Amino acid sequence: MASGSEFVKRLDSVDFPAAPEVVMRLSRLLSEEWVTAEQLSEVMALDAGISSRVLRLANSVYFRGQGVRSIDEAVLRVGIDGVRDVVFALSLLRAFKPLHLNYKSFWRHSLAVAQTVLVLQQRALNLPAPIPEAYSAGLLHDIGMLVLDRTLGAGYGGILADARDKAQPLFVAERAALGTDHADVGGRLLEVWRMPTVLAQAVADHHNPLANDNAAAQLVHLADFICNQHDIHHSTNSRFVAVVPEVWEELGLSETDLPGIVTDMYAGLAKADAILAAAAS
């Protein structure tokens, strides 16, 4: 396996995977204040596979749907934000397949964290307005694991085993072996993809949520913790990362909110499962 400094050098020239075209177009749309159903339909028309999956999802039991035949109708059923999030999730799930990680566990955790971020965001008293990048930050928070998995091949399998055997959080084992971790690598990937800075930074800081004044990083950190606590994790058997307790207060949340948050998280999990099922079909 490469030593830490060798790896970091290699990371500078690493072939980061390209973002799916739909994701790039969507994130450009996201940066605009108003997004219309027509604009969304146009982006989705780029990719027949995604359009058909979105329709299947809009017709699924989760959305209590049937007879939705066009993307415009799907937007009415699911809402613009919902369609945007679903398209983003489906296209990434389809494009990025883990090698040494369990596909279903990895993406279920990612989708559940994204949903939980939305739950926390609704309840957080210190957030004056919703953060448009919050869902994506949750969905993509561990994407650096997929980059490391592809770049290091069997070497990443070794790091996963190390974290498990030493009962360490995965990012600690990655740092020891590589001098970097999946949070940093994910942040770099999103910079390469020219995603909004808030998003790249939230991913880079999700295990160090007070490093910058980034509420999205704090939402992801807390959502990640809550999902792991409820066994919605990657199944890598590494030790869970402890929560940074100040994050509760920073966001204007209290641990007494937890029962309600967990109930809403499970409702969000049903949506995550519906998306996973649509992506796999």
Residues forming the site for Fe ion (CB under 5 A): 142, 224
Nearest approach in angstroms of CB 137 to Fe ion is 11
Closest among 92, 93, 56 to 71, alpha carbons compared: 56
Nearest approach in angstroms of CB 144 to Fe ion is 8
- How would you class 128 by CB atoms within 10 Å of its CB: exposed for 0-12, middle for 13-18, buried for 19 or more? exposed
User: 253 with 120: CB under 8 angstroms?
Assistant: yes
The identity of residue 213, as a single letter, is: D
Nearer to Fe ion, 173 or 195 (CB): 173
Nearest approach in angstroms of CB 206 to Fe ion is 6
Nearer to Fe ion, 29 or 172 (CB): 172
Give the whole-angstrom CA distance, residue 175 versus residue 203: 16
Nearer to Fe ion, 205 or 224 (CB): 224
Nearer to Fe ion, 127 or 202 (CB): 202
Nearer to Fe ion, 7 or 107 (CB): 107
Say whether 217 sits in a helix, a strand or coil. Answer: helix
User: 253 with 124: CB under 8 angstroms?
Assistant: yes
Nearest approach in angstroms of CB 277 to Fe ion is 21
Nearest approach in angstroms of CB 260 to Fe ion is 22
Whole-number CA gyration radius for the chain? 18
Tokens of 127: 């957030």
Tokens of 37: 């159903």
DSSP of 255-278: GGGHHHHHHHHHHHHHHHHHHHHH
Angle at the Cα of 258 from the Cα atoms of 257 and 260, rounded to 5 degrees: 75
Give the whole-angstrom CA distance, residue 141 versus residue 233: 13
Nearer to Fe ion, 86 or 217 (CB): 217
Nearer to Fe ion, 142 or 149 (CB): 142
Neighbours of 140 (CB within 10 A): 31
Nearer to Fe ion, 149 or 224 (CB): 224
Residue number of the CB atom closest to Fe ion:
224
Nearest approach in angstroms of CB 23 to Fe ion is 20
Nearest approach in angstroms of CB 166 to Fe ion is 17
Nearest approach in angstroms of CB 181 to Fe ion is 8
CA distances, 98 to each of 93, 114, 151 (Å): 10, 19, 11
Tokens of 217: 């990083």
